[in-house]
Amino acid sequence: MSTLGTPQSSAHAIPRRTLEIVLAAAVALSIILIFWSQQRYPALLKKLHAGTGVTVNGAISFDALLKVTPAMPPMDRVFRTSVNWLYTNRFGMYFALPFGAALMTLLGGTATPKRFSSTSANVFCGAIAGAPLGVCTNCATPVAQSLIASGASTRLSVAAMISSPSFNPIVVAMAFVLFPLPFALLRTIVPALLLLALPLLVPEISAPKGMNPLNLGMPVIEQTLTSRLLTFLRVYLRNLVRLTWLTLPWMLLAAVLGALAAELIPAYGTRLPVSVLGVIAVAIFGTLLPVPMALDVALAYVLYREGVPGPYVAALLCTLGPVSVYSLSALGKELGRQASLRLAGATALLGTLAGIAIMLLPKT
């Protein structure tokens, strides 16, 4: 009789890790649906509908929580610009951190492969997954970090980070609404070329060992439902704290560096005669400057509307979105400094070529 007890209890037990995986997937799906429906896509559609009336209230942010005036001391302006940048990015981080923690919990709890054997498949999958994500490269970085930490393909993770600000359908539509066709086409071609070059720029690192946080302690089949739920909650919170610790210092540094850059190189100071060296400098500046979602298109359009030379506008339009000093620095810890430098150099080079292309176009 005793031999019949074990099979009976096993038959009624929840399959190993299925509950935890379903919970993690449900948390991730809930977070992204709430973010999309309540904040990100309503905000993006509002910017799209504003058309040529789109405004930028801060040097590197849409919102200006703190007023910044030229009469203020430089350090006050840097501090206030940093706060305004963090304030504009708050919703993206409210999404990215809990969503990234859910991905870490989900992917870390399954032994199934998290990458394709084909390099092109990894890049393509990352690009497709990232396009609707709706966050800038800064807020997409924690998501990419969580994917890499969970054993996902490095190239898939970086492709998603680049694709999110570059190929969001509403932001792409904004570019075609606001700019002449050559500018909008370059805004689409440059990140596409960057994705195509990704296998040459970013190494495919091996999956980290020991990433199976949902398989801790006693076998799942011997745990009670309450114990499993508490374990899931503990693992999720641990991943959230870990991801926040990885992200927060770089976010603060990016805010300060972006504010310093905006202070040292005023956005409206590009009214110099157009030159190749000037285009290179603007492309490097755009590659490093951390801007919120859709600000690449909006800021470039404001400059274009104010009469800034087209080559400089094109260089900024093509480099502000894909990467930033924050995403490059944060991912450098995972991929190595050389990979970050190659990615930054490729972005700046493509932005420079975009600016030169506008220089060579016949004047109309």
Place of tokens 């930490």: 149
What is the rounded distance in angstroms from the CA atom of residue 318 to the CA atom of residue 343?
14
Predicted confidence band at 109 (pLDDT cuts at 50, 70, 90)?
A: low
CB distance 164 to 40 below 8 Å? no
In the chain, the N- to C-terminal Cα span, in Å, equals: 92
Exposed, middle or buried, 352 (CB in 10 Å: 0-12/13-18/19+)? buried
Q: Does residue 216 surpass a pLDDT of 50? A: no
Give the model confidence (pLDDT) of 155-204 as tens digits: 999 999 999 999 999 999 999 999 999 999 999 999 999 999 999 999 98
Give the model confidence (pLDDT) of 265-315 as tens digits: 654 455 667 889 999 999 999 999 998 998 899 989 988 988 889 999 999
According to the model, what pLDDT value does residue 356 have?
96
Predicted confidence band at 14 (pLDDT cuts at 50, 70, 90)?
A: very low
Give the model confidence (pLDDT) of 48-74 as tens digits: 888 888 888 887 788 888 898 888 898
What residues contact residue 332 under an 8 Å CB cut-off, 6+ apart?
339, 340
CB distance 167 to 207 below 8 Å? no
According to the model, what pLDDT value does residue 4 have?
42
Single out the residue of 337, 346, 288, 278 nearest to residue 313, CA to CA: 278
According to the model, what pLDDT value does residue 5 have?
42
Q: Does residue 219 surpass a pLDDT of 60? A: no
At residue 217, φ and ψ (nearest 5 deg) are 70, -145
